[in-house]
Every structure is written in C-alpha cells, then in structure tokens.
Structure 1
Amino acid sequence: MIGSSPLPVPGWLVLLLLLSLSSSAAAARITQFSVLTGSDGTETVASVAAQPRNFHPLDRPSLSAGYTRDVHWLRLIVAREPGDPAELWLEIQPPYLDDIRLYEPQPGGGFSERRAGDRLPFAAREIPYRGFLFRIHPPPQGSYSLYLRMHTTSTSLLFARVWRPDDFHPAALEEALAMGFYYGMVALVLISNLIYWFWVRHRLYLAYAFYVAATAVLMSSIGGLTFQYLLPGHPRLADGAVGAGMFLATFASGLFFPMILRLGKRWSLLLLMFRLQVWLPPFAAITLFTGHYTEAGHALVLFNLAVTVLSVARAVRLFRDGVPGGTFLLFSLLVFAFGLLSNFLTVLGLLPGTLFAVHGVQIGGLGHMLLMHMAIAARVRAIDRERQQALAQAAAAEATAGEERAARRRQARFLSMLDHELKGPLAVIGGAVQSLRRLAGAGEPEVTRRHQRIHASVGRIDALIGQCLAYDRLDQEGVEVRRAPVDLRRLVAATVSECGEAGRRIECVFDGAARLSGDGGLLQVALHNLLENALKYAPAPAPIRVRVAQEGDRMVIEVADGGPGVEAASAERLFEPFVRGDSDLPGAGLGLYLVRRIARLHGGEATLAAVEEGGACFRLWLPLAEGCR
C-alpha cells in the first residue's frame, strides 16, 4: 500500500473540476491520437511518418502501457479551432517521463526535433511548468500531424492536451491554488499529528505523521513539484525522486497500518506483508542506481495492491467486531482503495489512461485524511479510557491494600496486646496447677484429672495464641527467610521432645543425609504443626511415623498417622487459613496453612499424599542448597 496524500473536500472538488473541465476543453483540438504498433525502438521520424497504416488509433489522447522499457511512437493530428492564435501549446503529462521528443513538420519539408523529460535540467524547458509544454504552430486551415517519441524507465503513461496560451495561464493558476491548498492541508495534518504525538506520546500519531510526510514526498515527485522547486538543476536526482518516494511511502505504510489495523496471529499473512513493506524498500532502492527500477516498480505496485485488498478485509473485520474507530477506518480505506485501485490499474496498463485515473490516489483522499484522523482519535480515546480505568482500578486496589495493611497493623497490635495480657495470667495458672498437684499428691485421682485438664487447657490457649502470632508474622509481605545449614535429625528430635508424653508415639526414620539450607526456626514451626495435627487426629496408641529422605535435588519430610484420613475433595481446603477438619477438636485452623506458607517461603511445597492403608500422610518438600547436596 503506497501512501495516499490526504486531500480535504474543497481541494478535491477544485482538483476534480480542473481535471474534468479544462482537460476536455484542451483536448478537443487533438482530433486523432494513435500509437505505432510493432515498434522495435530503432525507428526514425522519417521511417515512422512513412508508415501511417501501422498507427493504431486510441479512444482518447492518452497512452497507458504499464511498466516497460519499450520505445513508443505516437501521432497527434491537431486542428485549430475558430479564434485560435498562431501559436498553441502542447502539454504532455505526467512530469516523471524520462525522454520525450517532439517532431513537428516544417514548411520546407522534414521535421524539427525538440526534447524534454526529467533527465534534462528544468531550465531547458521551453516554458517553465511542472509538466512539459511545447510551442506548436498548426496551419491556419486543416490539420497537421505531430509525432512523439517516448521512452521512460517508469510506467509508460502519457497524456496530451493542446492549449491556447490565454486559456492555459488561468487554468495553471487555478491548478496552483488547488495544489497550494492541498499541500497546505497536508502540512496542517502533519504538524497537528506531531503536536498530538508530543502531547500524548502515542506512537500512532507519530507513525501517521511519517506516513503523511512520506506520501507528500511521493505526490510532489509524481506531480513534478520536487523537480521544479527543489531540484531544478539536478535532473538525475529528480529522475530518481519518484522511485525514492514510492519506496519511502511503502516503508511508511508498513510501519503505520499494522498499528491501526491491530493485527494478531490470525492475520499473520498480512502482518508478514507489512513487514516486507518495511524490509524490501531499502533493498529495492538499489535498483535506482543499477537501472532495474522498471522491474522493481512493477513488482512493488502489484504487491502494494494485494496489501491494500487484504487491509480492507481486515478493516471490515474490525468494523464487525465493534472496535473503536472501526467505522471510520473502514470507510477511510474504502475511499482510499477506490482511488488507489484506479491508479494502479492505469499505471499497470490495465485501464485506459486518464488524468482522473492517474490522480486517483489524490482523489481517493477525499475522505481518507478526515476519516483516518477520526479513526486514530477514536482509537486513542479508547486507549485513554482504558488507561484511566486501569489507573482507577490501581488506585482502588492501592486503597484496598492500604486498608488491609492498616487492618493487619491493628490485628498485629491486638495480638501483641493479647499475647502480653494473657501470657502472664496463663503462666500464673500453669504454675498454680503444678503447685496444687504437688500439694494434693497422688491420693485423689479425680483431683489429678482436673489438674491435667486445666494444664491442657492452658497449653491449648497458649498454642492458639502462638499460632495466631505466627500467622500474622508469616502472612506479611516481604517475610525474610534467614537461611543457614540445618541438621534435620536434630530439628526432628527437638520438635518431638516438645510433644512431651505424646512424643513416645512418634517413630522417626532417616534415609541418607538429612541436611539442607533453610530457616531452622520456621522449619521447626512447620514440623511442630504437622506433628500436633497428627497427634490430634490419630487415636492413641496409634503410632505417628516421621520419614526424612532426600529425593533428587530436594529433601522430603513425611508425617503419616493412622487417623480417619481426609477426603480427596477436601485436601486442598485444609491448607487454607481458618479451615478445620470435620471434627469437634479444638484449634484455629491455621496449622496446615502455616506449614504450606513456610514451605513456599523456602521454594518448596506442602501436600497431602494418598495413603492406601488409611490415615493421612502430609509431605513437606524443600529444595536443597548447592552446598548441602
């Protein structure tokens, strides 16, 4: 897709009016326009004039032969109209033709030769104009034949018009005003998009500005303005400006349209084609120096036409999906594609040449600029709304997180206060119970049982407070694991000893080395919770089995009991905070949650393994440090 030059409605109307009315009026003096068939490029004007039957008449004073290196001979039969002056002007378009030779019959016989083309300095032209103008002098009565020889490396496209000088000047002025308005609007679009980009920093505006600028370069080169105003003394540079402009516009198109078309994996072919539009032009530009631009230009035109068709199909899909700006985008591409298609088919020689078709890209810019602006604006507005919503959600999340942090701080203060206020009384109660047991002695079994119940209750309250404090500490963000070498044999022995009399039910098995790098305090809390859970749910005197083994690059601690077991559907819920098993046994429902939390802080995991014989088996696996393997 080569870039279109955005054209506002008034400029389009003026240009279209000029092309339709003035063109037909000027062309009326050419009564016949024909092309020589069977030319091999070696003919002279004398040999051509001697074979009038070999000229094939065309419907209009224009030739469209596509990309070819052939030499074309044309014959124009010109007749005066009433009131015409002795001198008329023959206009030849487009301005990017390389070599044009006009042969005019002389009164004494023979032909005079005059040359033009973009390979001659602009000062060599008979009349300074962006196109080519020749002064001709038809006879007062009847008509006479002019011969044109055309040879160009770009598309072989030619239009001829004969003007009265007095009619040409106002037409050229109107054309200049229309083009001035046209390029003024292009500059306005370019500057406004750069301002929008600088303001909102969205790359879509920058890509569109580059696309508009590259298209303006192409259109000014095709229209002869680059040669006339920028490179009048450098015909070689001006000759390559059209090809360079087409390559630049193709490159800009490959950058801009993937953004506005929002291409995904399903449109990988179109995305690849746009990438080729970016990659190919730098290599194709080499043909401007090697003399192979004709072939490269032909291939690139066909490729761009295919990209345009697929881009319209993608725009239809965006329109159906209700994408913001999809309607504007679709109609923008449809209007652009209409003008572009007529231009491409004319350039390739598939449609008869008319100035309307040649300027189809510009005429297709009728709504392209405004609609594309609307599409971009709608897209950026939608992105901005999404960004604002995301910022609002982030602010709400931050506020919620702040509230949660404040609640956690209040909870931590409360637990700290509770620990401080209850530890003292609990210690007093525990000490008093022990004193009463010593005073009462072993004579009264009922009194002994009551002392034991009081002591157990004090222990449960103390353990509950300890678990709540551990939960509060471990559930905070940024908990630091203080790693150091840990001997699991010693850690297991110390934890089992804390279980008192119930620890006699615990059997410990060690397979191999039992060392790793971790936080010994946290690991002891995890193992204590597993043992307490097993002792609580497994009826006495059922044994509790602890197994420590190395499995590959990790250490596994298993705690198995002979209790009622756990249903598979409830296994994961047991590791959630404040979730307890289906029993009336006391507890806060935090033990297993803390086990998993400690495991994950070490980069490991805690799970419930399947047990065929019944009961439950909890597995705590931890990664080994490099120095402990």
Structure 2
Amino acid sequence: MQKFLQWVLVSGVWLMMLASPALAGVVTPTPDDREISLAPALEVLVDPEGNWSIDQVSSTFAGRFLPHAGGNPSFGFTRSVIWLRMTLDLDQVRDHDWYLVQRHPIVDHLYLYEPDGEGGFRVRHVGDVLPFGERELTVREFVFPLPDTLQGPQTYYMKVHGLGALHLDLRLSSADGLVERTYREQIVTGLFFGAVLAMLLYNILLFITVRDTAYLYYLVFITFFTLSFLNINGLGLQYLWPGCPRLNEYFPSIIGLSMVGVIQYTRQFIGLRERSPSADRVLRYLLGGAVLLTLLMVAIPPPLSYHMIVFMVLVIISTLGVVSWRAWRAGFRAARLYVLAWCFFLVGCGVFALLNLGLLPHNVFTNYAPHFGGIWAILLLSLALGDRIKLLQSERDAITAQARTALEKHVQDVEQLDRDKLLFLEYLSHELNTPLNWLAGARLLQAGQLPPELADAVTMVQKGQDRLQQLVSTSLRYFDLAGREQAPSLSYCQPMWLVDRLLRQRDAVIRARSLKVRNSIPADLQVVACEAELTEVLGMLLDNAIQFSEAGGDVLVEAVVSGQQVVLKVRDGGRGIDPQDLERIFQPFFMIGSGHHADGFGLSLPMARVMIRHMGGQMWAESPGRGAGTTTCVQLPLAVL
C-alpha cells in the first residue's frame, strides 16, 4: 500500500509539471537533431514603454507572456520592446555544442538572458548597431553558444528592439547543423551575388565597348542595388564596414541612389526624349524627387526614413513599369523584357514592404522576395539592353554591309599586292643572276696585272658580287620554302646525333673562339621531322649562337620533353635581344640594330621557322634582354616508339 501511495504521489507531481506553463513548451533536442525551430515554443511579452527589467519580466510580469501562434514572429516597425521566453532542456546533448541562432541579421539589439545556475541571469548583447568584431562567432547571423553545465529544463529570456522592422527566426542548432546551414547559405548567397557581379562586369565591358550612357546608369543601379542587398543580408557589416555599424542606417540613401540610376537608365534605354516627351518630363520630376529624398534620408532618422524609402521605391517601380509598357505598346520591341523585369522587381519589393509592415509572415519566401525579384530584374534588364543593341544594329546593317564589302575589297587588294611583291622579288632575284655572272668575270683579272688605281676597285666589285650572289640564292631559297604547298616527308630523327655532326663540322671555329659548346640532348631521344631540313635549321641556330657569343663563352644545346612534344633549345650567353624584337627577328630581312649586316641578310631565322612549321612544329626565341644571352627554341612532336 505504501508503494502504491508513493507511485500516485510521483505520478501526480509529474502530471503537474507537464501542466505547468513554464514547462509546457520545453524544447528537448536529441543527438540526432541538427536544427530545431523555436517558433512553436516561444512566449511573447510586449513592453510598450521599454522600461521593464529582467527581474520584473521573470517575476512580476511572468504571467503576462502569451504563447506565440503561427510561424516565425514578425512585428514590423515598432517602438515597443519585445520579450521572448523559451524553455530548453539540453541534457540529452550535454556532450555536444549547441547554439541559439537568430537567422535574420538585421536587428538593432538582442539581449539573451541565460540562467546562471544560481537563480539569476547572465546577459549577452548583440546587434547590428555594434561592431562586428564584438560577436562571439564571426558569422553574419546572431549566434549564442549555449552552456552545457546546466541540468534539466532552463528558461531563457530574450529582449529585442530596434528602429527597423523586427523579424525573428530563432533556431536551436547543433554545431554540425550550424556549419551545414551556413555552408548552404553561403552557396546560395554566393550564387546570387556572383550573378550580380557577373552582370556588373559584363555591362562594364559593354559600356567600354559601345560607350552608351544607358550602360553607365545601369551600372550605377547594379552597384547601389548590390550594396543595399549586402546591407540587408548582414554581409556589408561582416565584410565591408565591420568597425562602423552606423553605416547600416544609411540603407535608405543607398536605395535612393539605385533608384536615381534606374530612372536615368530608363530615360536613356527607351529614348523617352524622342519617343515620348511627356513621359520623359514625368521621369525628370520623379528624378528630382528621388534625388531630394535621397539627400534628406541622411538626416531623417529611422523608422521614418525606412517608410519613406519603401513608399518611394514602390512609386518609382510602378511608374517605370507603366512608362515601359506604353513604350512597348507604341512599337519599341525591346521594352517587353523591360516590362517583365519591373514586374518581377515590383512583386519582390511589394512582398518585402508588406513584410516590414507586419502584414505578411516572416518566412523564406517573404524574406528573400526582393532577392528573387532583384536578380530576375537584373538578368532581364541585361537581356533588354542586348535586345536594344540588336535593334540598333539592325538599323545599321546597310552601312555595315557596305563597309564590309569595301573592307573585303581592300583586303583582297592588299593580299594581291603582297603576292605581286613576292613575285616581283622572285623575278628580280632571277634577273640579277645575269649581271652577277658578268661581274664574276672580274675574278679572271689578276691583281698583279692591273694598274694600282684599279686593283682596289676590282676587289670591291668582287666582294659586292659575292654578297649579291649570296643574297639572290638565299632569297630564292626562302621564296621556294614559303611558297611550297606540299609538306616535306617526315621520319624519326635523333637530334643528338645531328647536333654532334654539326659541331664536328664547326670544330675549327669553336676552337678559334675558345667557346665551350655542350650537347645535352639524350642520345635515345627521337622526334618526328624531316632530317635534312632539321639539320639545316639546327645548323643555322648553332651558327647564330657561335657568331654572337663572346670569346670564351658557353653554348648549350638541350632538349625538354613535355607530354607528346619536345622542345630543342640552343642557348648562348651573347648580346641578347630586346623583348620587343623577339618576334620581329622572324620577319624576312629584319636585322637587329641596322638594316645592313656584313654577314647576313635577315633570312636564316625566317627560313628556319617556315621549315619547322612545315614539319608541324613551332619556333620562337627567348631572351631577358640585351647582354643576357638568347635561347632559340624549336618544338617538334615526340616520336612514339
């Protein structure tokens, strides 16, 4: 009987505890939970004067708390102080980190009163009026780490107030849940602002290209639009002005500047001055009002400034929608996307305005409505600008077609002149052979058989004849290579042995100049090339390296394998080449420093490049500058055995 009475007593106490108002909405997370919405468990008390203390709220006025019904609490613009009460039991997750999170980042003041275990409360204060560095966790939301030392159900109080609209989205979140949701929100936020940034950069390039002032005003709109959304998402305080939270109060002015840009953009986009002077006059008046209100917003305190900017945005967007619709009906086809853009933006701003007035509940849709409307407006406005370009382009098609025809004819004339030049040079080279053969007769005269006054002249004639003969033969060789249509036959070649043979042929010159020439190409390396022409190219490169190296200098021949390509390099420590001349040395008849050189004609490197390209390779030169040597590179396909 005694056990039965004890059981009845314990059961009665337990039922009384369940029926107690303080414990009726106990939130008890389990280890499997990641995030729990606290909205169903919240109790609300409104302090109209804002004078009540935590001692009064937790004792004298404790019975005045009312259970919150519905979704997340949204109080709109209010001067009252909102007290919230919630009861949490963290016994099942004592070994894990849990957090109380206010997801909406635009609240002036939040005070969390958590039990200290001795009948009192510890208070923690956060808000967007405080520097960002004072937060316990550096995230855009307001996050309170909860203690794991308290046992059983504990009652927490939160005091919320501010000059802006009060929207609360309180969550109880584990560490993993907080990380996952923060990661998801960063992806969504990154996609949103990434799209805005892409549109910004895209239109900057278009403005630079077409120099249309419509793009400039559109850039002003996007820039301040982005700043305003950074503000209402808490990212401005986190990244742009963390030490100056007062800048958050200038949100209405930022919105005003974006509206100034979009009004001017509309006037330029539609061409209202020519198409509809009356509508242009209306927008000029609207522009003046927007500029005036934007300036006044700096001095007008919230929440009046917030009400004024919401009203101004709705009036401006509605007016722009009507003006663009009339332009569309009047035959301006590009305005159809413009009308659709402002419809999206008007819906998003309207939903957000009703949310701030407390007429709509605070949820994902209403909170992000201006984001959805804004990003669609930006995309559609960009498409509308592209459509406008197409319309303008269609008006210029006739002029463009005429210009294209004239340009094509000019290109054909230039190409014909280039072919005529090559033909003339080739013909000239052939014709020079006859007088050069006549001059060769001067070699039959013996120096001792000539009068002294003619001996020097004959010697000069013989030198000139030799140079002209070399010029003609080299030029003809270059013209033959440049004009051939069939590539040479290719085979597997071993460049190490080709270089070795070329160095033996030049051993006397190398010794005379005391040069150190090292062949570092692997003996088993093979490339796909025409062996005869590759030998000729390597000979040209070695000759240049030997000629332009200082006496006693070093010349290195090496190979670098990269994937299926081989780069043969001939490096010398000679006079080097200026960066602006690295490509010009492959132009016919170009010589560094002078148009005339005693030992060359500026054709060896152009001929070498032509031959390498016919083998399917590439050729280029590298040099840090004058006095730092030159490396000539030949890239060829690697032979796959």
Shorter-chain TM band: 0.5 to 0.7
The 3 A distance-change label for structure 1 pair 76 and 204 is farther
Q: SS of the residue aligned with 1:37?
A: strand
Structure 2 counterpart of 1:356: 365
C-alpha distance in 1 between matches for 2:282 and 2:372: 29
Q: Give deviations 1:19-77, integer Å, cap 9, x for gaps.
A: xxxxx973435542233235310011121223244334333463333334332222334
The 3 A distance-change label for structure 1 pair 256 and 68 is farther
Q: CA deviation at 1:241?
A: 5.0
The 3 A distance-change label for structure 1 pair 154 and 37 is closer
C-alpha distance in 1 between matches for 2:242 and 2:47: 36
Q: Give deviations 1:572-609, integer Å, cap 9, x for gaps.
A: xxxxxxxxxxxxxxxxxxxxxxxxxxxxxxxxxxxxxx
Q: SS of the residue aligned with 1:147?
A: strand
- Give the TM-score taking structure 1 as reference length: 0.53
The 3 A distance-change label for structure 1 pair 334 and 58 is farther
Q: CA deviation at 1:135?
A: 1.3
C-alpha distance in 1 between matches for 2:169 and 2:267: 36
Q: Give deviations 1:515-545, integer Å, cap 9, x for gaps.
A: xxxxxxxxxxxxxxxxxxxxxxxxxxxxxxx
Q: Residue type matched to 2:333 in 1?
A: P
Given that 2:91 and 2:151 are in contact with CA atoms closer than 8 Å, whether structure 1 keeps it comes out as no
Runs of 4+ residues deviating >6 angstroms? 138-142, 389-393
1:104 equivalent in alignment to 2:114? yes
Q: SS of the residue aligned with 2:288?
A: helix
Q: SS of the residue aligned with 1:149?
A: strand
Q: Give deviations 1:279-319, integer Å, cap 9, x for gaps.
A: 320222233xxxx1321221121221232233333343334
Structure 2 counterpart of 1:283: 296
Which piece of structure 1 moves more, 146-155 or 166-175?
A: 146-155
Structure 1 residues 434-473: aligned runs within 5 Å: none
1:347 equivalent in alignment to 2:356? yes
Given that 1:73 and 1:149 are in contact with CA atoms closer than 8 Å, whether structure 2 keeps it comes out as yes
Q: How many residues are aligned here?
A: 366
1:257 equivalent in alignment to 2:270? no
Q: Residue type matched to 2:104 in 1?
A: P
The 3 A distance-change label for structure 1 pair 318 and 54 is farther
Q: Give deviations 1:338-380, integer Å, cap 9, x for gaps.
A: 2221111112222122243122111223532322111111123
Structure 1 counterpart of 2:82: 72
The structure number with the bigger radius of gyration is 1
The 3 A distance-change label for structure 1 pair 329 and 351 is same
The 3 A distance-change label for structure 1 pair 334 and 94 is same
Structure 1 counterpart of 2:316: 307
Q: Residue type matched to 1:26 in 2?
A: E
Structure 2 counterpart of 1:336: 345
The 3 A distance-change label for structure 1 pair 151 and 262 is farther
Given that 1:79 and 1:138 are in contact with CA atoms closer than 8 Å, whether structure 2 keeps it comes out as no
Q: CA deviation at 1:139?
A: 8.7
1:376 equivalent in alignment to 2:385? yes
Structure 1 residues 124-523: aligned runs within 5 Å: 124-137=134-147, 143-237=153-247, 239-260=248-269, 263=272, 264-267=276-279, 268-269=281-282, 271-287=284-300, 292-386=301-395
The 3 A distance-change label for structure 1 pair 213 and 144 is same
Q: Residue type matched to 1:130 in 2?
A: R
Q: SS of the residue aligned with 1:174?
A: helix
The 3 A distance-change label for structure 1 pair 369 and 129 is same
C-alpha distance in 1 between matches for 2:94 and 2:206: 54
Q: CA deviation at 1:145?
A: 3.2
Q: SS of the residue aligned with 2:123?
A: strand
- Give the TM-score taking structure 2 as reference length: 0.52
Given that 1:254 and 1:276 are in contact with CA atoms closer than 8 Å, whether structure 2 keeps it comes out as no
C-alpha distance in 2 between matches for 1:155 and 1:33: 19
C-alpha distance in 1 between matches for 2:120 and 2:134: 24
Q: CA deviation at 1:251?
A: 3.1
The 3 A distance-change label for structure 1 pair 211 and 381 is same
Runs of 5+ consecutive residues of structure 2 not aligned to the other structure: 1-32, 403-641
Q: Give deviations 1:357-406, integer Å, cap 9, x for gaps.
A: 1221112235323221111111232234345679999xxxxxxxxxxxxx
C-alpha distance in 2 between matches for 1:85 and 1:255: 59
Given that 2:77 and 2:163 are in contact with CA atoms closer than 8 Å, whether structure 1 keeps it comes out as yes
C-alpha distance in 2 between matches for 1:94 and 1:43: 25
Structure 1 counterpart of 2:41: 32
Q: CA deviation at 1:201?
A: 1.0
Q: Residue type matched to 2:35 in 1?
A: A
Q: Residue type matched to 2:44 in 1?
A: V
The 3 A distance-change label for structure 1 pair 123 and 236 is same
Identity across the alignment (%) = 26
Which piece of structure 1 moves more, 120-129 or 242-251?
A: 242-251
Higher relative contact order (CA 8 A, sep 6+): 1
Structure 2 counterpart of 1:588: none
C-alpha distance in 2 between matches for 1:323 and 1:54: 62
Runs of 5+ consecutive residues of structure 1 not aligned to the other structure: 1-23, 394-629
C-alpha distance in 2 between matches for 1:304 and 1:381: 30
C-alpha distance in 2 between matches for 1:280 and 1:389: 47
Q: CA deviation at 1:196?
A: 0.6
The 3 A distance-change label for structure 1 pair 81 and 250 is farther
Which piece of structure 1 moves more, 95-104 or 260-269?
A: 260-269
Given that 1:67 and 1:295 are in contact with CA atoms closer than 8 Å, whether structure 2 keeps it comes out as no
Q: Give deviations 1:443-465, integer Å, cap 9, x for gaps.
A: xxxxxxxxxxxxxxxxxxxxxxx
Q: SS of the residue aligned with 1:357?
A: helix
Q: SS of the residue aligned with 1:323?
A: coil
C-alpha distance in 1 between matches for 2:208 and 2:140: 36
Given that 1:100 and 1:148 are in contact with CA atoms closer than 8 Å, whether structure 2 keeps it comes out as yes
Structure 1 counterpart of 2:556: none
C-alpha distance in 2 between matches for 1:319 and 1:195: 27
Which piece of structure 1 moves more, 137-146 or 154-163?
A: 137-146
C-alpha distance in 2 between matches for 1:155 and 1:262: 39
Q: Residue type matched to 1:369 in 2?
A: I
C-alpha distance in 2 between matches for 1:97 and 1:90: 15
C-alpha distance in 2 between matches for 1:31 and 1:156: 18
The 3 A distance-change label for structure 1 pair 99 and 38 is closer
Given that 1:33 and 1:57 are in contact with CA atoms closer than 8 Å, whether structure 2 keeps it comes out as yes
C-alpha distance in 2 between matches for 1:83 and 1:137: 11
C-alpha distance in 2 between matches for 1:391 and 1:278: 41
Structure 1 counterpart of 2:455: none
C-alpha distance in 2 between matches for 1:203 and 1:148: 51
The 3 A distance-change label for structure 1 pair 231 and 313 is same
